[in-house]
A and B are shown apart, each in its own frame.
Chain A
Amino acid sequence: MIRYLLKRIAGAVPTLFIIITLTFFLVRAAPGGPFDQEQSLPPEIVANLQAAYGLDQPAWIQYRRYLTALLHGDFGPSYKYKDFTVTGLIAQGLPLSLTLGGVAMALALALGIPAGVFAALHHDSAAGYATMSLAVVGIAVPSFVVLPFLGLIFGIDLHWLPVAGWEPGSVKHLVLPVITLTLPPLAYIARLTRGGMLEVMQSHFVRTAFAKGLPTRTVIWRHALRPALLPVAGYLAPAVATIMTGSLVVESIAGLPGVGRYLVQGALNRDYTLVMGMVIVYSALLISAGLLVDLLYAWLDPRVRLAH
């Protein structure tokens, strides 16, 4: 188990390295630089700024420097937010973003699995059909439509919740964003659970369990659910990615001070270090999600071996 974990973590290093390298040269290939402004600075000042940040060096020297600093845990200074380091900026925004995403994920699982089981057990009735129709809506309608619509209804018409904005510690500012982030993974999970459940309910061991005279509830929750959740486990890593991209939009619409805005803004401003920092953090999160999924697989289905 521990050996497997170490092996997987070691396997993630090259992936991260590829990502870092690709991003590093991609952002530098862009026309323009971090010190372009609407009123252009005198060339001497730009040259000085570039020298101060080491941007006047050849690309591969910059690359080597960046990697060395990274190995010491240093993401470098932000070029646009003066006096801030990238580490500082991310550390400020990440807790809020992680809370949003974590709550959304937990809700999606807590509601999606029962909804899927329900739909599977009533698959030929109107109720099951309705549940799955709702799921299609949840999958199809994008977050940047859902959140403004929710804001229109609950914020502007009903005045129940704030449309946007943020106060530290305030829960009601997070309600609409969390609902928006939850919907797509919730719908997917419900659908996958239903599919898995329908398949498992036809397998021999479920028939055996029924034949032993076990009550339906026991068969479903104790026997059938675990293998039925395998497709859901496989979806978890894409779900993390879905929530991340969702949070880019949701945070910008709702005006939440998370890290979501840094990626797009950083890229637009050619704030190289900030973009790199964001890509690294997001990639690391995604890779860990993938690792978690593999462990989950083994737990859900003992036939899956962790050996390779």
Chain B
Amino acid sequence: MNASGGRPCGGLWPDAWHRLMSNRGSVLALCAVGCIVFLAIGGPFLNPNRVDALDWSHVAMSPGLNGGHWFGTDRLGRDLFVRTLQGTGVSLLIGLFATAVTLLIGIGYGAVAGFIGGRTDHLMMRGVEILSGLPLIFFVILVSVIFGRSVFLLFVSIGAVGWLTMARIVRGQTLSIRQREFIEAAIATGAGTRRIIARHIVPNVIGPVIVYATLTVPQIILLESFLSFLGLGVQEPRVSLGTLIADGVGDMESAPWLLIMPGGFLALLLLCFNIVGDGLRDALDAQRR
């Protein structure tokens, strides 16, 4: 893994990488995220059981080595290990895609507002302010109730809610970058607004954006599993951690592992993402120290 993302290194990125690596908690969390991603992709192949296979000889079995059901099985004899990993995969995918949506909208909107400035900026940020005053979570709930059953719409509605903070951060950064000499130089050489934003502004706001994106992924995973828990998100036969937890709550007394395994997985995943995000923020934000 390369902290600079393949871009030419200034002093900032190697420094930040070094600071991140010296933070033991972050390193541990980063490794854990890596393991979870690896398991989510490769895990189902490690286990002999298939996702929707019903094993009638092992129904509602507690975790163990018997029959390869490492996390046990549910009432229908479906293997919880494989289901949990698949749910994790779905949650991760939604988290990444929806974060990409928030990045696209947020960076574009924030950079344009910050660079053009003046009345346009005022109007655009006013819009963000009004939107963030609305109880958007209810709109996500309504949209997913109304147009649900579609993972694509889930991305869009979640992404549409998440971009507001991103836009604010990017705008703030853009405002300060706009004053720098290299932008002046770009203007002097006759570069157009669109080119300046795409080639000069956006690459330079990437630091705080990465930090916030790392913190957005767990927020979105949380939102998605919240919706799925309520029965509004991912639908059968697809599984997500939220739907597994909802099933687990129903069987809590007779089969607690159905709750503990996916619940623990979700908690661990969110925790690790948050720790990595915090660590990145501390590492990249030289002013805070």
Contacts and interface: CB of A to CB of B under 8 A. Distances in A.
Interface in B128-146: 130, 133-135, 137-139, 141-143, 145-146
A271 to B, nearest CB: 11
A139 B270 CA distance: 9
Interface in B265-289: 266-267, 270-271, 273-275, 278
B205 interface: no
A61 interface: no
A245 interface: yes
B263 A149 contact: yes
Given A136-B274, A139-B274, A156-B253, A144 B229 contact: yes
Contacts of A244: 135, 137
Interface residues of B, number: 40
Contacts of B209: none
B135 A282 contact: yes
B139 A26 contact: yes
B125 interface: no
B51 interface: no
Given A142-B225, A152-B259, A245-B226, A23 B133 contact: no
Given A140-B271, A275-B142, A283 B135 contact: yes
A286 B274 CA distance: 26
Nearest to B138: A279
Contacts of B134: 15, 18-19, 283
Interface string B241-261: 010011011001100100110
Interface string A148-163: 1101100010000001
Most buried by B among A137, A156, A267, A278: A267
A141 interface: yes
A144 B267 CA distance: 10
Contacts of A248: 230
A255 to B, nearest CB: 11
B153 to A, nearest CB: 13
Contacts of B25: 133
Nearest to B263: A145
Contacts of A98: none
A226 B94 CA distance: 41
Contacts of A18: 130, 134
A19 B135 contact: yes
A106 interface: no
A249 interface: yes
- B interface SS class: helix
Contacts of A139: 274
A145 B275 contact: no
B218 interface: yes
A137 B278 CA distance: 13
A177 interface: no
- Most B C-beta atoms less than 10 A away, residue of A15, A31, A136: A136
Contacts of B147: 30
A248 B245 CA distance: 16
A206 interface: no
A241 interface: yes
A51 interface: no
A156 B135 CA distance: 36
Contact of B271 (A137, A152, A253, A264): A137
B266 A290 contact: no
A290 to B, nearest CB: 7
Interface of B: 25, 130, 133-135, 137-139, 141-143, 145-147, 218, 222, 225-226, 229-230, 232, 242, 245-246, 248-249, 252-253, 256, 259-260, 263, 266-267, 270-271, 273-275, 278
19 contacts: A30-B146, A31-B146, A136-B275, A140-B267, A140-B274, A144-B246, A145-B263, A149-B260, A151-B252, A152-B260, A163-B252, A241-B137, A244-B135, A244-B137, A263-B141, A264-B232, A267-B142, A275-B142, A279-B142
